[in-house]
Amino acid sequence: MNKSKIVLAAVGGVTLVASLALAYFIWSAMSERSERLDELAGAEQSLINMMKLPVNPSPEAIKAYQANAETYDNWKDDAKKLVTTGDMIFEPTTPPALKAFMVEDARRLSSLPGRTDGVIVRPEFAFGFKEFVLDGNMPAEADLAKIQREWYDMSVVVETMSKSGVIEITDLTLIGDAPQPAAEQQPAAGNRRQRKGAKPAAKAKAAEQCEGPAVTRMRVEFRAMPPALVAVANSLMMSRRFIVVDDLTFSRERDELSEKLGGDPKKAAEAQSSRGGRRGRRGRQEEAEEPAENEALSGIVTDPMMAPALKVSMLISVYDFRSLEADKTETEEQK
């Protein structure tokens, strides 16, 4: 056997030994893992079996159960008081009275301070109720309570944004079933008979309305500087009304860095062409001023105090848990 074959045989032997050792380690690790998984499955099954066992009716167990139940009830009551602090109940009204109130209150909201001509909205802003504020429609009798609540929730959000320093509210849209204008109803025969039998149905409808929270969802788009956006988020979180920000997106109104670097290439080329066509002292003076401008551009790229405003889109949900409605229903039933 020559030297080359001896070297190859040695290398092959070492490789075989290494492969066998590696296979053993892999088999050992897999076996250990399988054992651990079996132990875990056994422990989980033991825990499930223990959880299914009835509670030992010893005095200590009963005392611990009662203490846990009392702790849970106290927590539930405290949580309910916290979330229902801002619940509202509105006095009965009529369609003409509600429409007149909305038109007048829209004027008040339109005059809230902002940085767009001193107010927070543009003229003829409808606040999500164009059909009633700007158009001649009258709210339907069945929607009065809903419209009152939604108008109140909207006004809370608008006032919060004004106090937080928002520049301008550009759009406000209610999301959900929009309130419908009142439809003309013809008096039907037998109304007196229907009224007599309508009391149980009305009671059932009122009970159904009191189930679950009433939610006002709105999409608000506005312009604000970063401190004002932070103030809006904090103020909504601290509001007595239970308000949730479901979605929030924002971006700069313009690309400041691109503007600093020259902006739109087409506009830059047009400006350069117009400057090149000028003659005389004025042209030479502008050419002399260009190095100073370029030198200024080579300094600070952006200044937070001079940065463009943010365009913000915020999806907001305002919850009313109907606690006052339930209390009023119970009081009327007792009477």
pLDDT of residue 51: 80
Residue 130 has pLDDT above 90, yes or no: yes
Per-residue confidence at 4, pLDDT binned at 50, 70, 90?
confident
Residue 305 has pLDDT above 90, yes or no: no
Residue 64 has pLDDT above 60, yes or no: yes
Amino acid at 245: V
Residue 205 has pLDDT above 80, yes or no: no
Give percent of the chain with pLDDT exceeding 70. Answer: 71
- Give the number of other Cβ atoms within 10 Å of residue 163's Cβ: 13
pLDDT of residue 197: 43
pLDDT of residue 260: 65
The pTM of the whole model exceeds 0.75: no
Give percent of the chain with pLDDT exceeding 90. Answer: 47
How far, in Å, CA of 106 to CA of 133, rounded?
7
Among 262, 241, 214, smallest CA distance to 160 is for 241
Residue 201 has pLDDT above 50, yes or no: no
Q: What is the pLDDT of residues 135-164, one digit of tens each?
A: 989 999 999 999 999 999 999 999 999 999
More confident residue, 29 or 227: 227
Residue 213, judged by CB atoms within 10 A of its CB (0-12, 13-18, 19+), counts as: middle
Residue 132 has pLDDT above 60, yes or no: yes
CB contact at 8 A, 99 and 144: no
Amino acid at 31: S
> For the residues 103-122, what does the mean pLDDT come to?
93
Residue 106 has pLDDT above 90, yes or no: yes
The residue to which tokens 């167990």 are assigned: 61
Amino acid at 227: P
Per-residue confidence at 189, pLDDT binned at 50, 70, 90?
very low
Residue 295 has pLDDT above 60, yes or no: no
Q: What is the pLDDT of residues 160-178, one digit of tens each?
A: 999 999 999 999 999 975 4
pLDDT of residue 304: 63
Q: Which helix (H) or strand (E) holds 116?
A: strand 113-116
More confident residue, 116 or 99: 99
Three-state secondary structure along 245-300? EEEEEEEECCCHHHHHCCCCHHHHHHHHHHHHCCCHHHHHHHHHHHHHHHHHHCCC
Q: Give the mean pLDDT of the chain.
A: 79
Token pair, residue 87, equals: 């619940």
Residue 187 has pLDDT above 60, yes or no: no
